[in-house]
């Protein structure tokens, strides 16, 4: 195990522990976590946008960066709010679906990936990997339906799994496109071995707000 992989693994475990701890800790700890996420992500997005489009004014830059981080953060906050109270079970389930989708897509794409989805943006993302992530996430959604107790009905969990599978990769591609335009490898250096906040939470850009709508209105 080389030092780079060890660093990435340790940081990844730390990220997972931090997220789950803040979720289980209640509404205040989760809100504070999201606030840190928004502030850090906003700074990264401002820097990337300034590099990608140098002629953009400070106000348009800041507002665009705020939209990039605020919508998914609000979606993540909404996913943890049911019946007038904080719901840890739904949020934990959501993150497990996202992590399962990312992991399955990576493993399947690495082994069987042949057809790039958007080679100009992210050559490593393949349709085979996407299909693997979709199957794994939907199966996990079905499993969650069979085990869940105080959460929404079966249709909602399957819907969340589909949202993750379809919109999660779009967020990843959007961030890849922004970084490519800005000519940077990572959005930041806050998370050793993983880059910045935007690098780790890009799957939530589009998926989290839509998932919140599915959860509360479908």
Per the CB < 8 A criterion, the answer to whether 197 and 96 are in contact is no
pLDDT 10s digits, 36-75: 999 999 999 999 999 999 999 999 999 999 999 999 999 9
Closest CA to 191 of 6, 2, 14, 4: 14
Cα–Cα distances (Å) from 202 to 24, 85, 139, 150, 154, in that order, read 22, 27, 23, 28, 26
Q: What is the mean pLDDT of residues 155-176?
A: 90
Question: Angle, nearest 10°, between helix axes 58-79 and 204-217?
Answer: 40
Average pLDDT over residues 8-32: 92
Residues sharing a CB contact under 8 Å with residue 28, sequence separation 6 or more, in sequence order: none
Region at 84 (left for phi over 0; alpha for psi -120 to 50; beta for the rest): left
Structure tokens belonging to residue 24: 């289980």
| Mean pLDDT lowest among 25-39, 107-121, 146-160, 194-208 | 146-160
The per-residue pLDDT for 164 is 94
| Domain count of the fold of the chain | 1
pTM for this predicted structure: 0.90
Average pLDDT, the chain: 89
Buried b (16+ CB within 10 A) or exposed e, 84-107: eebbbbbbbbbbbbbbbbbebbbe
3-state helix, strand, coil in the chain (%, to 5): 75, 5, 20
Show the domain range for 206.
3-217
Q: For residue 54, give the 3-state DSSP assignment.
A: coil
- For the cut 70, the answer to whether the pLDDT of residue 145 exceeds it is no
């Amino acid at each position: 195990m080389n030092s780079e992989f060890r660093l990435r693994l340790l940081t990844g475990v730390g990220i997972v522990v931090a997220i789950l701890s803040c979720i289980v800790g209640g509404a205040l700890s989760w809100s504070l976590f999201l606030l840190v996420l928004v502030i850090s992500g906003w700074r990264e997005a401002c820097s990337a946008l300034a590099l990608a489009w140098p002629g953009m004014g400070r106000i348009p830059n800041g507002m665009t960066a705020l939209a990039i981080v605020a919508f998914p953060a609000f979606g993540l906050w909404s996913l943890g709010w049911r019946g007038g109270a904080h719901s840890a079970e739904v949020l934990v389930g959501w993150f497990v679906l996202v992590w399962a989708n990312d992991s399955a897509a990576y493993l399947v794409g690495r082994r069987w990936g042949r057809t790039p989805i958007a080679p100009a943006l992210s050559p490593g993302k393949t349709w085979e990997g996407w299909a693997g992530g979709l199957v794994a996430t939907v199966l996990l959604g079905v499993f969650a339906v069979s085990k869940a107790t105080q959460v929404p009905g079966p249709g909602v969990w399957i819907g969340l799994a589909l949202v993750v599978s379809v919109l999660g990769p779009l967020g990843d591609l959007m961030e890849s496109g922004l970084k490519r335009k800005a000519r940077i490898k990572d959005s930041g250096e806050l998370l050793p071995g993983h880059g910045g906040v935007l690098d780790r939470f890009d799957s939530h850009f589009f998926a989290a707000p839509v998932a919140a709508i599915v959860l509360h209105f479908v």
